[in-house]
Amino acid sequence: MDRIVVTGTGIITSLGAGKVETLRKLRAGERAIGPIRHVQTKHAELPVGEVPYSDEQLKELLHYRSSETITRTSLLGRVAMREALDEAELLTDHGERVVFISGNTVGGMEKSEQYYHDFLTNNDRNEYIALHDCGACTDIMAKEFGGRFDIITTISTACSSAANAIILGANLIKEGRADVAVVGGTECLSKFHINGFNTLMILDKEPCRPFDANRHGLNLGEGAAYLVIESEAHAARRGAKAICALSGYGNACDAFHQTATSPNGEGAFIAMSKALADSGLRPEDIDYINAHGTGTGNNDECEGIAMMRVFGEKVPPVSSTKCYTGHTTSAAGGVESVISILALVHHFIPANLGYKDQIEGHTFTPVDHVVENVELKHILTNSFGFGGNDSSCIFSALDTDNKSVVVMSDNRCYVQSAAQISMQQPLSEAWFEDPIVPTQAFNETIEPNYSPYIAPMAARRMGKLLKRAVATAVNALGAHGMPEAIITGTGLGCIDNTEKFLTSMLDNDEEFLHPTYFMQSTHNTISSQVALHLKCHGYNCTYSHRGTSFDSSLYDALVQMRLGLIRSALVGGQEEMTPAYFDMLGKIGYWKQGAVDTETLRRAEQGGAISGSCSLNMLLETNCDADTLCAVDGMDMLYEPDVEALGATADRLLQRAGLAKEDISAVVMGLSGDCDNDRVYRSFARHYCPQTPIIWYKHIFGESFCASAFGIYVGAVTLHRNLVPAHLLYNRKDNLCNPTHILVYNHFHDKDHSLILLSK
């Protein structure tokens, strides 16, 4: 197919707002790291790359006149998005299928940490409770461009989040799911992650010095950056000017440690090698590397070793631009991609500021001054996150001859196996014949014996959700080989550890903090812990987009299988609920009050659902055997569709599979007993399939941001067992025998929707 090109970019960091100011300061070799001004923390001694605008000034910059509550994360993102969309001439809708994929980890934490005690003790700041999670920040950003996007989702893989957003966007374009993708990331500074990084003892009290023998750590930064990407042919058809090409990319997991890089930089080596292979380029074709280069002892040494493994004795010119902006964490992949594109277009190499002495064992030295008037054809940029989530992207000049080779696979995708831990009997399918019926809104998970899956010494250091994720992963894999990808959905991550760190930080005046709680609070800790346990170096990604977190993970896996990039994937939905967070969400109507029963949930006359913790892993493969649960014959995701668009999408799924509406045996829906939630499902049923049996599952598994994983699971098991038992049927009282095709429909607050077609 035609290559993927970049048609718009936007950026805001401590260097300023927009590409013009960013370019000027990069070429002048001007640092933008200094004292903390906006974050209320006692660690004023730590220099940061803070965006030089208050929230109110950002609103003025955006002409934001709405009374709607908004986070700083979303404000920064909107500034960068607007610049990118404006340059790409996408502010006006001309019928393109546009997807928006944002990388983020902090979410609304900078507001949550300010009002956490209000959340617990009063109702003065309830409007911020729903803004805590990453997906909420993405949704707020999308609202400004109302109706512009067909799909939105959020990736949370710590410091590689934005780079992974670029990778997903490109794959969606190649697979034909999108015409245009808006990709990147946003992150604001917060007291939480300043203290978190400080507990890891990797923050420098002076301006950072990446790749210097005497480096002492990183400086945190904040900012946002987005790219608009599309096929070259599509850009030409709509008259958009291409800036450069996205010629290759790769992701891998180091599978070594939650925060440290392996001594030989294995994950980084694989990611860079994948990017080169994807681009069709040789190592000697790369003219400049914008390195991850954090300034920490471990990263810089190991990234350098990985580059030496890839490029041999001729490592290209290298610099880290985190010495200008600070480490913008989840936004870094977007920020440094835009900086790389500026370097490519304007023919200069940014300086690696602060460098003096070579690291022992390195055969190269970074570029210590700005190099002007240099011919650059291909630039590689690295973004490496906690848990060894390593991603590399290559941007190329337009006068180079790179075509994207796409080998589409016509293999079917199968749910090979699955394992769950929930309020039902763990690691079993006892729920099929004899479910545990909840009688209250807050429900605890039934924990299994973890010793067959995790060594006791390792288990003692792991939070509950991590243990559940590892156990379900190992159980689902069984005798199957190593998966080629591990993809996880989690709306909240390990919220128990997040609460522990946040409470300790607030109650102890930012002292005596436990680094393990911070490490395990990052969303991709779950996926990386599974990879670490399995020693899996394959593709690794985490989606944190509220009620469609699992759906996004499944979508990613299916797209990559269609592109022939992977043949197997371990796809998980992982969520936990604490008493404190249950109470907070209860204040904004998430949960029912008092005792509950199945008939009350079925009637759905009032608001609120019952909670459940979700831990489920399923193995997807392109081959099947006698034990395979079902086939996945299609999937689509939609953002804010009307009921007619949903029906049309369902029709397309069926047509692609050679089926008619009458072939659907049943529809699985996430009916939860919440009147507003269930109204959407009932509307779809009336419009599209009024006579079709409906399967429900949240009355026995509960509601969570990843509860939709159980919808797929229930559909798969019923197809495999040739029976839908009566307790799973919403609109009939007797068993349904011999189902052959099941449509699974999920939505979150009538915004994000998904449709999945399962077949026997």
How far from the centroid of its chain's Cα atoms is residue 315's Cα? 31
Q: How many residues does the chain have?
A: 760
- CA angle (503, 508, 511) in 5-degree steps: 110
Neighbour-count burial of 375, counting CB atoms closer than 10 A to its CB (0-12 exposed, 13-18 middle, 19+ buried): exposed
What single-letter DSSP state applies at residue 15?
A: T
Pairing of strands 244-253, 4-13: antiparallel
What is the DSSP track for 650-709?
Answer: HHHHHHHTT--GGG--EEEE---S-HHHHHHHHHHHHHH-TTS-EE--HHHH-B-TTTHH
Tell me how far apart the alpha carbons of residues 102 and 18 are, in angstroms, rounded to a whole number.
18
Q: Which tokens in the block code for residue 631?
A: 């086939």
Pairing of strands 539-543, 614-621: unpaired
Tell me how far apart the alpha carbons of residues 316 and 288 are, in angstroms, rounded to a whole number.
5
Under 8 Å between Cβ of 320 and 218: no
Q: Which tokens in the block code for residue 619?
A: 């193995």
At residue 60, what are phi and psi to the nearest 5 degrees?
Answer: -65, -40
- Single-letter residue type at 172: L
What is the DSSP track for 509-566?
Answer: TT-S--HHHHHTTSTTHHHHHHHHHHT--SEEEEE--GGGHHHHHHHHHHHHHHTTS-
Residues with Cβ within 8 Å of 136's Cβ and at least 6 positions away in sequence, in order, are 71, 107, 108, 130, 546
Tell me how far apart the alpha carbons of residues 18 and 23 are, in angstroms, rounded to a whole number.
9
Q: Which of 241, 239, 248, 299 lies closest to 272, judged by CA?
A: 248
Select which of 132, 193, 292, 378 is catalytic: 292
What single-letter DSSP state applies at residue 327?
A: B
Pairing of strands 98-103, 180-187: parallel
Residues with Cβ within 8 Å of 155's Cβ and at least 6 positions away in sequence, in order, are 101, 102, 103, 104, 161, 162, 164, 165, 168, 185, 541, 542, 543, 544
Q: How many Cα atoms are found within 13 Å in the side-chain-facing hemisphere of 709?
A: 37
Tell me how far apart the alpha carbons of residues 331 and 383 are, in angstroms, rounded to a whole number.
10
Select which of 134, 137, 159, 393 is catalytic: 159
Neighbour-count burial of 708, counting CB atoms closer than 10 A to its CB (0-12 exposed, 13-18 middle, 19+ buried): buried
What stretches of 257-296 show up as alpha helix (H) in DSSP? Answer: 266-279
Under 8 Å between Cβ of 477 and 483: yes
Tell me how far apart the alpha carbons of residues 682 and 685 are, in angstroms, rounded to a whole number.
5
What single-letter DSSP state applies at residue 441?
A: S
Pairing of strands 694-695, 666-669: parallel
- Single-letter residue type at 380: L
Coil, helix or strand for 12? strand
Tally DSSP H helices, then E strands, for the chain: 25, 25
Tokens 């809104």 correspond to what residue?
441
Q: Which of 595, 640, 479, 473 lies closest to 540, judged by CA?
A: 473
Catalytic residue flag (residue 323): no
Q: What is the dihedral of CA 685, 688, 694, 697, to 10 degrees?
A: -70
Under 8 Å between Cβ of 393 and 301: no
Q: Which of 545, 210, 164, 132 lies closest to 385, judged by CA?
A: 164
Select which of 193, 327, 378, 523 is catalytic: 327
What single-letter DSSP state applies at residue 262?
A: P
Catalytic residue flag (residue 292): yes
Catalytic residue flag (residue 533): no
Q: Which residues are tagged catalytic?
A: 159, 292, 327
